[in-house]
A and B are shown apart, each in its own frame.
Chain A
């Protein structure tokens, strides 16, 4: 008996020795994957490791086909290095952007430098990966000569080849099952998914592999029945005919101009003291000093003239927020700016305005780089006649360009330089301005110092800290952010001065909204002292300003929840434009319906009381909100997800750009024509 066990033990020892390189490769790969998940999502498991196991099995079988231990050693080392580097790379990407890898992200690679602020190399992962990988290399090489060579017989080769075929088939089945759970044409299922968050679901390498499969083979959305899309969009009981609250005095606003200002990273705490909500924000003896001319008088004045949405939220990066405020919807798993820059989009705000008023001039301005987020191409398809960027502002309007010196341009200088073209007096206009001064990094900037902003902050005690500690560093970040906010205040002051001088303030609606919180350098987390979904009032982290100045409406503060996609329907409502609700994710802030924020970048649902990736995983629910509230949330989420399914079909297939021939055999965009016909019909009372 003892002899038998000894034999088994010896045989096992030989096998272990023979496959030592392979076994250690498999174990190390699993370790890297688990470590990657632990570093990013603080969990040491992968819920669905099927792709990982298939990858490992396939790699192992292929390596087993190799005859020499030395060749195996080289192959295993290369694969290990690739796995480790892929993990490291996407940990860094996650730490920089807060998002996990998706195929569409590859489109952003050209703009990556604008997003990068630092290279947060994870110490633990790098150290353990470096150590274990070098040990594998060193000891693998040292003992390579002691490892028994393996005879590759024909039978073994045949078995391995058979296994490869089986694994490839299994891989196909797994990938199809993973990616067919949610088809983009039926997004409601996202709500009921049981997936774990981020990389905990598949692991990092498997997510990357799966995203490539998705991007290459599953990224098409079937158009389906065109008529069904039309039936969904043009439902008679989903036409929004405006609300009394949006125009209480029944004034004709059809000649009103519109200025929308996307205020980069604007937060309430940039100019308001509230120690309860912003414990690390301003803490002044006399908070009213913030309203003084040297500080934020212009923002306070604007606040006091506007309809202030006190529960406005955003959880996207700038490009998506910008599009939501122009288009009112956004597809999943793609970026409009890169994936659909030439689509026909009749439903965007500028296109709708132009279809109802031939004379309106729609232009977009941004004092940043021309090609950034592909705006110079995409904004034209959104309906703007021109996209005016820094280069044009510098050459045509003599605006000072600070980009070559490594600093952000100044918003007030953009408004001053371009005022005549931005706010024409001879035509009705819709001007979209994307500001940049408040963009991170929040470090000391000479151009802000030259304007004296740091001195103003010093005068109220928001002074530079010279300590090396984290708290002092955060205080300086806040101070630098405030200096940039002062510049934004001056821009608003300049804007208001022009509107007053020209009389445009009497017939111009001005919208100012933050595109996202001040997430650079963790500023929002620090000021609000919110870091985790377990923290009290977690969703407060994403609450930012929305102020709408309407000449004939008094200042009011509204506590209704709203988000970036609500801006387009609200502007329609204010301008007296009736619209088909199913085309847009949001609702007018004056309507009875309340929205739910669905973040395309982070795949989460948010309101002021709840935060969840799916209904099976509610990460934050404010105390006192019970089942009834959850039912309401579910209804709202189902509605938006249903719309999203159709929006995907529209974007992915350029539904409105489909060409057909008219009676004279001329190519026409039939669906675009139908949209405008419907739009005009519901606005002008015309028959279809």
Chain B
């Protein structure tokens, strides 16, 4: 939060001539569209209605989405690297963290987990997700959901990354502002809230902002952002 509060006087919006910025917006849009290609899997639902009395429909939906996302991701990464020389996944920024930074990262992850667990009666969210009536198809479905979310999270991290790069070029500030997180929160997070109007999607919206914060505090390291964001999502 200190990062946000202290940026005040130094903010400048630069009329940049860097035309490559548009590329980051394009990547962001592609990622956003890719996430919602999950609805394509709905078209195949009738095919699976007769498998185990329709109990496995959700499972197939998640599995198809995951496969689709994986293909889209490979294509996206390949073209951005080939055409625009933008490497979305691999970054060579491997600085060691100071104790202060480590503590902040821990706090960013632990505090939300503690708050959410406490509000669920000191139950972890994953336990709450599984519920109290686990059947084999349900368990498999949940595991597939987490699996597909693991791929979806890559898109989210990429979206955060490209928006951060783009806005850092447009708006110059003395201190880092988690633009990526804010933009993802106001786009993807908001869309999710509208689609599934529930408390959890509201929390998820805030989490998108947190993912952006993690990205900044982790020195813009995708791998760390990805791991911590996924832990946050699961727990």
Min C-beta distance of B147 to chain A, whole Å: 17
Identify B134's interface contact among A117, A130, A134, CB under 8 A: A117
Chain A residue nearest to B113 (CB atoms) is: A127
Interface residues of B in 118-156 (CB under 8 A from A): 122-124, 126-127, 130-139
Query: Does chain A have a CB within 8 A of B53?
Result: yes
> Is B96 a contact of A441 with CB atoms below 8 Å?
no
Contact of A521 among B53, B114, B132, B134 (CB under 8 A): B132
Docked pose: A116 CA to B135 CA in angstroms: 8
Complex Cα gap A127–B111 (Å): 12
- Asked if B200 CB lies within 8 Å of chain A CBs, one says no
> Which of B52, B130, B132, B136 is the most central at the interface, judged by chain A CB atoms within 10 Å of its CB?
B132
A126 at interface, CB cutoff 8 A: yes
In the complex, what distance in Å separates the CA atom of A118 from the CA atom of B53?
Answer: 23
- B173 at interface by CB-CB < 8 Å: no
On whether the beta carbons of A406 and B55 are closer than 8 Å, the reply is yes
Assembled-state Cα–Cα distance A72/B191 (Å): 47
Does any Cβ of B come within 8 Å of A121's Cβ? yes
- Residues 123 to 144 of chain A near chain B (Cβ within 8 Å): 123-124, 126-127, 130-131, 134, 138, 142
Give the distance in Å from the alpha carbon of A120 to the alpha carbon of B123 in the complex.
8
Alpha-carbon distance A443/B138, docked complex (angstroms): 15
Per-residue interface assignment for chain A, residues 53 to 69, with 1 indicating a CB less than 8 Å from any chain B CB and 0 otherwise? 00000000000000000
Q: Is B117 part of the binding interface, using a Cβ–Cβ cutoff of 8 Å?
A: yes
B126 CB to closest chain A CB (Å) equals 7
Digitize A189-207: 1 where CB-to-B-CB distance is under 8 Å, 0 elsewhere.
0000000000000000000
Binary B-proximity of A313-332 (CB < 8 A = 1, otherwise 0): 00000000000000000000
CA distance in complex: A142, B124 (Å): 29
Within the complex, the shortest CB–CB distance from A459 to chain B, in Å, comes to 26
A97 to chain B, nearest CB (A): 14
Instruction: Report how far A134 CA is from B106 CA in the complex, Å.
Output: 10
Bound CA–CA A126/B55 (angstroms): 31
11 contacts between A and B (CB under 8 A): A113-B139, A117-B132, A118-B130, A118-B132, A118-B133, A127-B114, A131-B106, A142-B96, A142-B97, A142-B102, A406-B55
Contact residues in A for B123 (Cβ distance below 8 Å)? 121, 123
Decide yes or no whether B194 CB sits under 8 A from chain A.
no
Closest chain A residue to B110, Cβ basis = A131
Quick check: is A248 within 8 A (CB to CB) of the other chain? no
Main secondary structure of the interface of B (DSSP, over half): helix
Name 7 extra pairs, CB < 8 A, besides A113-B139, A126-B124. A116-B134, A119-B127, A123-B122, A134-B106, A138-B102, A404-B55, A443-B132
- Chain B neighbourhood of A121, CB < 8 A: 123-124, 126-127
- Number of B positions contacting A (CB below 8 A): 27
Check B52–A404 contact: CB distance below 8 A: yes
Ranked nearest first, the 3 interchain pairs of A and B with the lowest CB-CB distance are: A404-B53, A118-B132, A121-B127
Q: Which residues of A contact B235 (CB under 8 A)?
A: 126, 130
Contact residues, A485-528 vs B (CB, 8 A): 521
Query: How distant is B161 from chain A, measured CB to nearest CB, in Å?
Result: 22
Q: Closest approach, in angstroms, between the C-beta of B53 and any C-beta of chain A?
A: 4
The answer to whether B135 touches A406, judged by C-beta atoms less than 8 angstroms apart, is yes
Q: Does A405 contact B (CB under 8 A)?
A: yes
Which residues from chain A contact B114 at a C-beta distance below 8 Å?
Answer: 127
Shortest Cβ distance from residue B44 to the other chain A in the assembled complex, whole angstroms: 21
CA A130 to CA B109, docked complex, whole Å: 12
Closest to B231 in A: A130
Question: What 0/1 readout, one digit per residue, does chain A (446-485) give for beta carbons within 8 Å of chain B?
Answer: 0000000000000000000000000000000000000000
**CA of A120 to CA of B130, assembled, Å:** 9
Chain B contacts with A in 19-36, Cβ cutoff 8 A? none
B215 to chain A, nearest CB (A): 18
Known: A138-B102, A521-B132. A118 touches B139 (CB 8 A): no
Known A123-B122, A142-B97, A406-B55: A113·B135 in contact at CB below 8 Å: yes
Residue of B nearest to A112 (CB): B136
Task: Write the chain B residue with the least CB distance to A92.
Answer: B127
Interface residues in A397-420 by Cβ distance below 8 A to B read: 404-406
**Contact count band on A:** 20 to 34
Chain A neighbourhood of B106, CB < 8 A: 131, 134
In angstroms, how far is the closest chain B Cβ from the Cβ of A358? 43
Complex Cα gap A121–B124 (Å): 7
Q: Closest chain B residue to A473 by CB distance? A: B132
Choice from B55, B113, B122, B131 contacting A118 with Cβ under 8 Å: B131
Query: CA A134 – CA B137 in complex, angstroms?
Result: 32
Give the docked Cα–Cα distance between A479 and B124 (Å): 27
CB nearest neighbor in B for A135:
B106
**A441 and B117 in contact, given A119-B127, A121-B126 (Cβ under 8 angstroms):** no
What are the residues of chain A within 8 A of B53 when measuring CB–CB?
404-405
Distance in angstroms between the alpha carbons of A323 and B166 in the assembled complex: 70
Quick one: which of A103-125 are within 8 Å of B by CB?
Answer: 113, 116-121, 123-124
Question: Which chain B residues lie closer than 8 Å to A131 at the CB level?
Answer: 106, 110
Note all chain A residues with C-beta closer than 8 A to B130: 118-119
Contacts of B136 in A (CB 8 A): 113
Is there an interface contact between B132 and A441, defined as CB atoms closer than 8 Å? yes
Chain B residues, CB < 8 A from A130 = 235
CB distance from A92 to the nearest CB of B (A): 10
Residue of B nearest to A121 (CB): B127
Give CA–CA (A452, B235) in the complex, Å. 40
Whether A120 contacts B127 in the complex (CB less than 8 A), given A142-B97, A443-B133, comes out as yes
> Which residues in chain B, 145-203, are within 8 Å of chain A measured between CB atoms?
none
A contact residues around B127 at 8 Å (CB)? 118-121
User: Cα distance A123–B117 when bound, in Å?
Assistant: 8
How long is the Cα–Cα vector from A142 to B99 in the complex, in angstroms? Answer: 9
Chain A, residue nearest B121 (CB): A470
Nearest CB of chain B from residue A368's CB, rounded to whole Å: 14
The interface residues of chain B lying within 8 Å CB-to-CB of A113 are 134-136, 139
Residues of A within 8 A of B134 (CB): 113, 116-119
Closest Cβ–Cβ distance, residue A242 to chain B (whole Å): 48
Q: Which has the most chain A C-beta neighbours within 10 Å: B55, B113, B127, B131?
A: B127
Name which residue of chain B comes closest to A145, CB basis. B96
Q: In the complex the two chains form, what is the Cα distance from A119 to B129 in whole Å?
A: 10
Instruction: Kindly identify which residue among A120, A124, A126, A441 contacts B133, using a CB–CB cutoff of 8 Å.
Output: A441
- Complex CA gap A54/B209 in Å reads 48
Chain B residue contacts of A138, Cβ below 8 A: 102
Contacts of A441 in B (CB 8 A): 132-133
Nearest A residue to B97, CB-CB: A142
User: In this complex, what residue of B is CB-closest to A134?
Assistant: B106
Q: How far is the CB of B134 from chain A (nearest CB, A)?
A: 5
Shortest Cβ distance from residue A478 to the other chain B in the assembled complex, whole angstroms: 15
Cα A295 to Cα B55 with chains together (Å) = 33
Which residues in window 30-79 of B have CB below 8 A to A? 52-53, 55
